[in-house]
Amino acid sequence: MDKETLEIPKNTPQHVAIIMDGNGRWASARGLPRLAGHRAGTENLRTIIEAAVEFNIQYLTIYAFSTENWKRPEQEVKGLMRIFRNMLDRELKNLHENGVQLRHLGQLDPIDQDLQRRVKEAIELTKDNTRLILNVAFNYGGRDEILHAVKNIIKDSLAPEEIDADVFSQYLYTAESPDPDLIIRTSGELRCSNFLLWQGAYSEWYYAPAYWPDFDREELLKALVDYDQRDRRFGTISPQ
């Protein structure tokens, strides 16, 4: 597709979710440590948040740290926690002034107390913003989310006949967000890696070869143009 000719489609997805993959390979290709890739990825987040607002996306969900990422070397895990904290320090004011509402998906409990407090404060500060809902999946896993929902349904003593897909969705971390229309994975990997297992049932997938730090506004626009050409059938058939 020719970059020059791309126009913003009229039918942009309401909710875009992104697996920001390839930070490590981006760094290795430059002879840099992996954390340099995560820092570059964080810088890129600003570009993509701005582009999401420009493209009238209402919900943006980013996979920042999975329940499995704890198994990475301690130095990388600590580095990612530090990057998250710094991002909140540096970007919160700007995000708030630009009408971005921050939400968290996942379990906060295992995270350092100070970072937990900062995340909660950021959520509280931005809770009335409506320009863009930014769901940050941090210590998030789709299986963990489903188990967490089941446990809470049991705790609430719901009867089987009271449980349907809508009720179940309300027990997920994403209770306040519609299902993603489009899920993007960067870096050319073709798998879902425990991301939005329930919510992604009818999402359109887009795989970009670019590593996350290189996935810029034009790359996002390409994904939106591609999405615009999809025929979403949700298990039914197109009108004949």
Whether 21 is a known active-site residue: answer yes
Could you give phi then psi for residue 147, rounded to 5 degrees? -65, -40
Active-site residue identified among 2, 44, 56, 69: 69
Tokens of 181: 């229309």
Helix axes 34-54 and 74-97, enclosed angle (nearest 10): 20
Whether 194 is a known active-site residue: answer no
User: Residue 23, interface with ligand FPP (CB under 6 A)?
Assistant: yes
Q: Which is nearer to ligand FPP, 42 or 61 (CB)?
A: 42
Contacts with ligand FPP, 57-96, as mask; x by CB under 6 A: -------x----x-------------xx--x---------
Sole window of 34-42, 97-105, 121-129, 232-240 interacting with ligand FPP (rule: CB under 6 A): 34-42
User: Residue 45, interface with ligand FPP (CB under 6 A)?
Assistant: yes
Burial class (CB in 10 A: 0-12, 13-18, 19+), 60: buried
Judged by CB under 6 A, the number of residues near ligand FPP is 18
User: Residue 139, interface with ligand FPP (CB under 6 A)?
Assistant: no
Q: Which residues are catalytic?
A: 21, 69
Under the rule (CB under 6 A), what is the footprint of ligand FPP?
20-25, 38, 41-42, 45, 64, 69, 83-84, 87, 136, 187, 212
